[in-house]
């Protein structure tokens, strides 16, 4: 699941200035995707690296990958030129887009010590979830680019195979999770993700292998669920933790998660974040991807 960039590809990419991207509404413009693909596929070993990335995300048992782009980040910095290269890799998977009109294509996720600790920008444990869980068309992929890891050594990424976790549940729990009894969060000012889905089933019956498992652990505390449905969701939460993998993202690492297969979260950051200058705290950039219509994410 960890993909290193061949030396000859790194050298070529350092010398490859991709043009500024253009958007078509919330989505990366088709003309930009074609231009990036034309430039990148000419680079040595790019095609095989992109194929390895797609295979890791879609193969049986797969569903996430980490591109090791640290050497490129060191050579180019983490500004616009580097982001264009990362976006180029993303276009080999699906169509980049931003569902938030008030945010650019890449959204900052920094650290705010006064935020809810369980939020993405908080300092505490961020439990397993899928992004935009209450949208009828959630992003097929969520991606996170590590600009700076936590200088205090915390914040490991955690991932869990959602369908494998569901397979370990009791039949009674699976029946309850397939009922439209769950709800979480608000829904406003969003593009490209359909309509609000409320209430929704955790188990999307459209595809037992690749359907969304619409889960966020926060619903256990904030959604006022009935006892039976809450217990089924708690059983799933336990199985997700049981099957989790964890790893620390390094500067330049680009994590891509297939939301139809894996759920993600984060361990707590290192204690004492208030002593770290804001400019030195952990920083991730997030971008979402939409699989083309008719394709399997």
CATH code of the domain in which 275 resides: 3.60.130.10
Closest CA to 82 of 274, 293, 258, 251: 251
Length of the chain: 297
Looking at residue 221, what is its pLDDT? 81
Residue 39 lies in a domain: yes
Taking 70 as the threshold, does the pLDDT of residue 293 lie above it?
no
The pLDDT of 45-68, averaged and rounded, is 97
pLDDT higher than 80, residue 259: yes
212 assigned to some structural domain: yes
Full residue range of the structural domain in which residue 30 is found? 2-290
pLDDT at 51 over 90: yes
Q: Is residue 274 part of a domain?
A: yes
Q: Is residue 59 part of a domain?
A: yes
Would 295 be classed as within a structural domain?
A: no
Confidence of residue 239 (pLDDT cuts 50, 70, 90): very high
Measuring CA to CA, how many Å separate 39 from each of 17, 19, 47, 142, 198?
9, 10, 11, 24, 43
DSSP annotation of 178 reads T
Q: Which residues contact 101 (CB under 8 A, 6 or more apart)?
A: 26, 189, 190, 191
- Residue 206 is predicted with a pLDDT of 65
With a cut of 80, say whether residue 296 has pLDDT above it: no
Residue 78 maps to a domain: yes
Q: Which residue has the tokens 């699941």?
A: 1
Phi, psi of 153 (to 5 degrees): 85, 10
Of the pLDDT bands very low, low, confident and very high (cuts 50, 70, 90), residue 180 is very high
Residue 296: inside a domain:
no
Would 36 be classed as within a structural domain? yes
Q: How many domains does the chain have?
A: 1
Which DSSP state fits 291? P
The tens digit of pLDDT for each residue in 69-91 reads: 999 999 999 999 999 999 999 99
What are the contacts of 241-244 at 24+ separation with CB within 8 A? 241/128, 241/160, 242/165, 242/168, 243/160, 243/161, 243/164, 243/165, 243/168, 244/128, 244/158, 244/159, 244/160
Instruction: Identify the helix (H) or strand (E) that includes residue 80.
Output: helix 80-91
Which pLDDT tens digit goes with each residue over 199-209? 999 998 766 67
pTM above 0.75, yes or no: yes
């Amino acid at each position: 699941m960890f993909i290193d960039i061949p030396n000859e590809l790194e050298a070529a990419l350092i010398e490859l200035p991709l043009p500024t991207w253009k958007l078509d509404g919330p989505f990366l413009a088709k003309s930009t995707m074609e231009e990036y693909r034309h430039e990148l596929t000419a680079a040595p070993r790019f095609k095989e690296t992109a194929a390895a990335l797609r295979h890791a995300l879609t193969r049986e048992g797969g569903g996430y990958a980490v591109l090791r782009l640290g050497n490129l980040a060191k050579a180019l910095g983490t500004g616009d030129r580097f982001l264009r290269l990362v976006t180029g890799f993303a276009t080999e998977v699906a169509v980049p887009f931003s569902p938030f009109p008030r945010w650019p294509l890449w959204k900052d996720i920094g650290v705010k010590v006064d935020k809810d600790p369980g939020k993405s920008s908080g300092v505490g444990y961020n439990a397993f979830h899928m992004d935009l869980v209450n949208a009828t068309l959630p992003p097929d992929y969520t991606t996170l680019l590590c600009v700076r890891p936590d200088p205090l050594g915390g914040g490991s990424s955690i991932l869990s195979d959602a369908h494998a976790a569901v397979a370990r549940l009791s039949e009674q729990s699976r029946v309850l999770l397939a009922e439209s009894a769950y709800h979480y969060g608000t829904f406003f000012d969003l593009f490209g993700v359909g309509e609000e889905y409320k209430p929704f089933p955790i188990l999307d019956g459209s595809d037992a292998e690749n359907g969304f498992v619409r889960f966020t652990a926060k619903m256990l505390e904030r959604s006022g669920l009935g006892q039976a449905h809450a217990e089924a969701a708690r059983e799933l939460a336990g199985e997700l933790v049981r099957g989790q993998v964890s790893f620390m993202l390094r500067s330049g690492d680009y994590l891509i998660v297939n939301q139809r297969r894996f759920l993600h979260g984060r361990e707590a950051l290192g204690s004492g974040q208030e002593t770290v200058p804001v400019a030195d705290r952990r920083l991730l950039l997030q971008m979402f991807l939409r699989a083309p219509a008719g394709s399997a994410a």
